[in-house]
Structure 1
């Protein structure tokens, strides 16, 4: 991780951008290197300043945050993108997952959650709000629970399935480690193996698989 985490804030509301800048730059290890008020500007700034993390609003003029996320994630060595959302934008969450977002943050989250999300993203972790995760469960819940283990998950060990289940609940590596009573490094190893076996690029895409197969909806 760099000495300072370089952040781009993309939101069409000046007060939101300013508020995020004040909160983040109060931390010694985070620097807001650019702002953008449209999706088009976010793409341009991402290319110019090469941030580590982008906070991306969904609804912006010219080009929305989802389309901007898709384009930025296609760039070589793209930054990690955290999508900013509200409860009335849940229909966009799955699209954002598919677009390559690494995490989600409610706009009215406490400042500690914002800071934690940026730090997690900078270290390759992800942060999915548990409230948003519950909405995903509702969206992908099946009328009849599937019998047996989905074929897509057949190569995972029992412990890797435990890790995937906790990922689907929105837990960070540290939270998974505490839940399973193992070291953080052990969790990182398990997560890496899950990604490899599922042939997905990041942990959020693994969460998508967990929901689409019905695995995340099990008790």
Structure 2
């Protein structure tokens, strides 16, 4: 299998490459530092592409959309430090599998790759506690931390801790993304 890593920071590329090959030593990893380099490498149809949004050569949405156009079968995982919800929503429309935050531990980035490619060594559905499921359900209903705390009889600060952990476990960049991912996996619905 082939993995393409696109990021304009060499240290980030190397860290992602080391993480991927640490889990799957047989994975062939190619690195690119700009969107044009990513596009050229995407023509080889890698199974997975980890791509940053803030790279030279194109605006984020254009850059990712072009990767999808060049490699329609490739699983695209965005790894970014950007958090603008409107931008991330447009990127998601490009057919990416997941949008992951650069603030996560490297190991936490592997679960979405495993799930998307059906690779061994991970589970698709994160293991949430019963309380986290309750908080997630209320997040899906659009409640604030304070409202969730009142509903569950816990302090807003405790809710904030649960929300943060849920975001991490879901591989999301924010609470909206966490709910979106949970809905896709059937963990929560908005009924």
TM-score (norm 2): 0.63
Q: Which residue, 175, 182, 188 being the options, matches 1:170?
A: 182
Aligned length: 144
Matching of residues 126-205 of structure 1 within 5 Å = 129-132=171-174, 134-135=175-176, 168-170=180-182, 173=185, 176=186
Structure 1: stretches of 5+ with no match in the other structure: 138-165, 181-215
* SS of equivalent residue, structure 1 residue 135: helix
1:24 aligns with 2:20: yes
Deviation of residue 171 (structure 1)?
Answer: 6.3
Give the superposed CA RMSD: 3.1
Q: Work out the CA distance in 1 between the residues paired with 2:181 and 2:29.
A: 32
Indicate how the Cα distance of structure 1 residues 128 and 54 shifts in structure 2: closer, same or farther if over 3 A, else same.
Answer: farther
Structure 2 Cα separation of the partners of residues 119 and 14 of structure 1: 24
Which of 6, 23, 27 matches 1:10? Answer: 6
Give the match's secondary structure for 2:46.
coil
Unaligned runs of 5+ in 2: 126-168
CA distance in 1, matches of 2:90, 2:118: 24
Aligned to 1:90: 85
Distance 1:26 1:82, change over 3 A: same
CA distance in 2, matches of 1:123, 1:59: 28
Q: Separation in 1 of the partners of 2:13 and 2:71?
A: 26
Task: State how far apart, in whole Å, the 2-side matches of 1:112 and 1:170 are.
Answer: 20
Indicate yes or no: 2:111 matched with 1:69. no
8 A contact 1:24–1:32 mirrored in 2:
no
Aligned partners of 2:19 and 2:107 also within 8 Å = no
How far off is 1:9 after superposition?
0.3
